[in-house]
Amino acid sequence: MTLVLYRIDDRLIHGQVVVGWGQPLDIGFIVLVDDTVAAEEWEQELYRMGVPPEMDVYFHSSADAVNHLAKYRSDPRAGILLTGDIATMRRLVDAKGIAAVNVGGIHSASGRVQRLRYVFLTPAEERELRDLAARGVSVTAQDVPGARPVSLDDLLAGNEP
Amino acid sequence: MSSESTQSDQRPRHRAIVAGHGEFAAGLVSAVEQITGLGSQLIPVAVHKLGVADIEALLRERMIAEDVRVIFTDLQAGSCTMASRRILRGMDDAVLIAGANLPTLLDFLFAEGMSAPQAARHAAERGRAAIAVHGAGA
């Protein structure tokens, strides 16, 4: 197997990831790419306690992750790579071609406008998503496996299926 | 009732926060109310549109405003659990029960002679023990 899902989700490891995606995809590991979490052992322990014992979690800064992607892609288990924001995913796309990105959750914050039930974006974030698509990446929004994927155009237009 | 009681004494005392996915909290509190009439002692919190930092801020604000030190959440991996654990890091007298169910809450509300954290731990054991499998050779 390999990394089967590249997901942008500002909640990082949570129920939708561990249970919603983790069980149907038989996920064996999660790669969490976040500069803050990578720098704090306590935060890492917090996220480790959220996953079942048979699931591994690996933590990397955005700079460090690039050097480990090949290893995770050749892992015999299925894995999910998580970033908490679009910019971090963009850095990984630039460095190590990623074909498809899942927008799983970007929640309400100052300056953001609601586009879907679980996606709120600033104008700058909208540009970042368009930029990812312009690099040949398939960008879709989908919070859980049972939901229909939403194309980038529909996402930015706020067309909830 | 004491002659010194005031109108504010009549207000239901909040004893715990219930938080989780979707309408988990409102549903459980509704069930508690139907069974016991004590639902008003619990504060249901929904976090649909919030990011992690805002969930933490919301729960912290409700705990402080209501002087509550007990949080029940639904899932160990859930965002409410993560946020609550961050809050507990700086609040030594608070307690979190992740994986709460209806028997947990009922036991908590009927605990007598215990501090809130003691009652929460007792309730967690009761909730765990209340899960049973019936039928199909179980």
pLDDT digits (tens, 9 = 90+) for A43-87: 999 999 989 999 999 999 999 999 999 999 999 999 999 999 999
Interface of B with A in 33-72 (CB under 8 A): 48-52, 54
- A138-154 burial: b if 16+ Cβ within 10 Å, else e: ebbbbbeeeeebbebeb
Is A10's Cβ below 8 Å from some Cβ in B? yes
pLDDT digits (tens, 9 = 90+) for B86-136: 999 989 899 999 999 999 999 999 988 898 889 999 999 999 999 999 998
pLDDT digits (tens, 9 = 90+) for B21-52: 999 999 999 999 999 999 999 999 999 889 88
B interface test, pick of A14, A37, A83, A85 with most B CB neighbours within 10 Å: A14
CB nearest A14 (choices: B48, B49, B77): B77
The structure's pTM equals 0.86
- Chain A residues near residue B77 by CB distance under 8 angstroms: 13-15, 17-19, 50-51
How far does B42 lie from chain A, in Å, by closest CA?
23
Q: What is the side-by-side order of every strand in the sheet holding A78-83?
A: A56-60, A27-33, A78-83, A3-9, A100-105, A138-141, A150-151
pLDDT digits (tens, 9 = 90+) for A105-141: 999 999 999 999 999 999 999 999 999 999 999 999 9
- Long-range contacts of range B59-63, CB-CB < 8 Å, 24 or more positions apart? B59/B17, B59/B19, B59/B83, B59/B84, B59/B87, B60/B87, B62/B17, B63/B17, B63/B87, B63/B91, B63/B94
Is A18's Cβ below 8 Å from some Cβ in B? yes
Q: Is the pLDDT of residue B11 over 70?
A: no
